[in-house]
Amino acid sequence: MRKLALLSMFILVLVLVGCGATQPAKDPFLTNAYRALSAMDTTYDVAWGSFVKLYKDGLVKEETFQAGRKLANDYFAKWTDAAQYLKKYAAGEVPAGGFDLLQVLVNKSLEELKNYLKEKSGGIKPII
């Protein structure tokens, strides 16, 4: 009986400690910024993946593919810079304001890539 009482007390303490633990406050800027990067990355994955498939199927010439790859690499480098900036922001190393310019550059690079892929794919779906 005493063991049951001790076990019950132990479980109660664990429950109370667990309920008393607080979640860290979410940073709306960080949440929105990561969502924006995630959306851009999804768009990139679909568009570039489709273009690569067209290339592998022989529907896109090598030089056209390599020019697209250059644009894709440029986008990826800018996206990576933005993601690293957010990591530094989360660690308290940089202010939030610097992300805006990076986000604009990533968006511009993604739009250039999408436009190129649309043009060079001949309108074949599912290039976004």
Closest CA to 47 of 75, 24, 27: 75
State the Cα–Cα distance between residues 62 and 67, nearest whole angstrom. Answer: 9
pLDDT at 7: 42
| 76 inside domain | yes
What is the domain count for the chain?
Answer: 1
| 2 inside domain | no
State the Cα–Cα distance between residues 37 and 52, nearest whole angstrom. Answer: 22
Q: Residue 62 CB: number of other CB atoms within 10 A?
A: 8
What are the average pLDDT values for consecutive 10-residue runs of the chain, which has 128 residues?
46 49 70 94 93 92 96 97 94 91 95 93 64
Terminal Cα-to-Cα distance of the chain (whole angstroms): 68
| 91 inside domain | yes
| The two structure tokens encoding residue 109 | 């690079």
Give the domain CATH number at 78.
1.20.140
| 99 inside domain | yes
